[in-house]
Amino acid sequence: MAQQDDVFKKIVSHAKEYGFVFPSSEIYDGLSAVYDYGQNGVELKNNIKRYWWDAMTLLHENIVGIDSAIFMHPTIWKASGHVDAFNDPLIDNRDSKKRYRADVLIEEDIAKLDDKIEKEVAKARKRFGESFDEALFRETNPRIREIKAERDALHERFSQAMNDSNLEELRQIIIDREIVCPISGTRNWTEVRQFNLMFRTEMGSTADGAMSVYLRPETAQGIFVNFLNVQKTGRMRVPFGIAQIGKAFRNEIVARQFIFRMREFEQMEMQFFVRPGTELQWFQTWKEFRLKWHKALGLGDDKYRYHDHEKLAHYANAATDIEFRMPFGFKEVEGIHSRTNFDLSQHEKFSGKNIKYFDPELNESYVPYVIETSIGVDRMFLSVLCSSYEEQQLEGGDKRVVLHLPAPLAPVKCAVMPLVKKDGLPDKAREIVDDLKFDFSTHYDEKDSIGKRYRRQDAIGTPFCITVDHQTLEDNTVTLRERDSMEQTRVSIADLHKLIHNNVSINSLLRKLK
């Protein structure tokens, strides 16, 4: 674990050093859980968004996009349940004055018991060697059975308390488990209180009677309230979907792990409206399609898993998360939910407007059911960054840090470098840049030794480096160096465009989704 922590720290500092992610307001010592994307980060982020947007809107003729406002009528959040129920249970330690999420403290306690089990298994594996039957050991070893019983009882008690929103019981669990504050080391806890995660602000001047509005905590509601606008003006027929990418805001109590949990972040959400009764088939379809989308990036199929929800929100009839193996464990990157007709019905009720869809094939009106796919851009960014980072030991004792970014997502697609800064090589290199730049993000670099220039590009994940040398002036060929293999091939300038395009276009990813 400590080794993983070190790797994660290195990734965070690499992200800053190479212009991917900066702490927000850094010269004022930062703003907690808010980050800025730098010159390379914004390109990587835009490419992730483009891949998602095209996979939704180009590949599905029944999905269209919108861009709704961040501010919305406050009653929307009453209807959606966010005003009353979008809460986290918080608890303070009186000695350290630190604030925690009560549920997270308990989850961490459960994770400790899981760790204990894994340690026992690892010890036994070492002791018994080849003859070790892990399944049998887990089932029969008295020590493991004891820890597992303790863990399951705790989990059951915790789930019940969360389901009942029983704050006293959450506190009691923390007391009974003797959970201490990691800072003060004491058990001097306050009561547990509900804390609403929405940011509130005022709209209009106070003289006019200002209205309290919220920064949206999800983009989905902007889709629901525009359902009929899009359906009517786009002449859409159920089943159809509406996609949106945009900022969302949550006043997270515990904001940790870099850009994994932020207070201002970005979501890519799609609501797919279907006939009642067909939703579970569509849920399955979207569950599979979304995993395929992730896997097409080639980050490693073993890095993903579904986490099907056993306990569902009262309005949902199926839900799963796509989790990705981050350096700090498997974590949710995307949620896929079958939300029944809850949201549209609530908006009908609160707005007093008819939001029914007339189905010409059935000759009847109904409130459609909805399958939602919801992915965080920043979490996706983090998963791509973490799985791409490698410190490589090279032959001859040399080292390099390389980002094996999927080529279509890389911020810079190719770098053109004159071998030396004289003999007309820079002019020739500029000529190549001036041609490629219309189709690819292209860097020109003539500073430092060629080795150093390659390392700089490796560190930001540039898939190709093109080197112009004296031979180029004679026969219009260059060397094309591939980032991962570091192999160099001599190619004609006339072929560069095609060679690069075949590897770096978003199109090449989209074709894998057929």
What's the min distance (Å) between Cβ of 219 and ligand GAP?
Answer: 7
**Binding of ligand GAP by 269 (CB under 6 A):** yes
Query: What SS3 class is residue 385?
Result: helix
> Which of 161/375 has CB closer to ligand GAP?
375
Touching ligand GAP, residues 274-333 (CB under 6 A): 332-333
Cβ atoms within 10 Å of 249's Cβ, excluding its own = 19
The residue written with tokens 């002019």 in the block is: 427
Which one of 100, 265, 286, 342 is in contact with ligand GAP (CB under 6 A)? 265
What's the min distance (Å) between Cβ of 218 and ligand GAP?
Answer: 4
Which one of 89, 327, 335, 408 is in contact with ligand GAP (CB under 6 A)? 335
> Which of 250/404 has CB closer to ligand GAP?
250
> Which of 35/389 has CB closer to ligand GAP?
35
Which one of 220, 299, 318, 402 is in contact with ligand GAP (CB under 6 A)? 220
What's the min distance (Å) between Cβ of 432 and ligand GAP?
Answer: 40
Stretch that binds ligand GAP, among 119-127, 273-281, 368-376, 490-498 (CB under 6 A): 368-376
3-state SS of 431-490?
HHHHHHCCCCCEEECCCCCHHHHHHHHHHHCCCEEEEECHHHHHHCEEEEEECCCCCEEE
Cβ atoms within 10 Å of 425's Cβ, excluding its own = 20
Cβ-count burial of 70 within 10 angstroms (0-12 exposed, 13-18 middle, 19+ buried)? middle
Which one of 82, 171, 216, 250 is in contact with ligand GAP (CB under 6 A)? 250
Using Cβ positions, the residue closest to ligand GAP within the complex turns out to be 376
What's the min distance (Å) between Cβ of 307 and ligand GAP?
Answer: 11
> Which of 35/454 has CB closer to ligand GAP?
35
- 310's CB contacts (< 8 A; 6+ apart) are none
Phi-psi region of 116 (alpha: psi -120 to 50; beta: other; left: phi over 0): alpha
What's the min distance (Å) between Cβ of 382 and ligand GAP?
Answer: 9
Total number of residues binding ligand GAP (CB under 6 A)?
A: 19
Rounded CA separation 346/80 (Å): 7
Site mask for ligand GAP (CB under 6 A), range 445-474, x = bound: ------------------------------
Which one of 40, 68, 196, 267 is in contact with ligand GAP (CB under 6 A)? 267
Which one of 43, 88, 218, 469 is in contact with ligand GAP (CB under 6 A)? 218
Rounded CA separation 413/501 (Å): 9
Give yes or no for a cis peptide into 239 (omega within 30° of 0): yes
What's the min distance (Å) between Cβ of 203 and ligand GAP?
Answer: 23
Of the candidates 448, 446, 453, 449, the one whose C-alpha atom is nearest the C-alpha of residue 400 is 453
Rounded CA separation 46/395 (Å): 35
> Which of 220/468 has CB closer to ligand GAP?
220
Query: What SS3 class is residue 147?
Result: helix
Write the DSSP string, 279-324: HHHHHHHHHHHHHHHHHTT-S-GGGEEEEE-SS--TT-SEEEEEEE
What's the min distance (Å) between Cβ of 321 and ligand GAP?
Answer: 7
> Which of 89/376 has CB closer to ligand GAP?
376
What's the min distance (Å) between Cβ of 101 and ligand GAP?
Answer: 12
Which one of 334, 343, 458, 469 is in contact with ligand GAP (CB under 6 A)? 334
What's the min distance (Å) between Cβ of 380 and ligand GAP?
Answer: 7
Instruction: Give the single-character DSSP code of 420.
Output: S
Residue 361 contacts residue 95 (beta carbons within 8 Å): no
Structure tokens at 163: 């389901």
Rounded CA separation 206/208 (Å): 5
What's the min distance (Å) between Cβ of 331 and ligand GAP?
Answer: 9
**Binding of ligand GAP by 376 (CB under 6 A):** yes
- Residues near ligand GAP (CB under 6 A): 218, 220, 250, 252, 261-262, 265, 267, 269, 332-335, 372, 374-376, 378-379
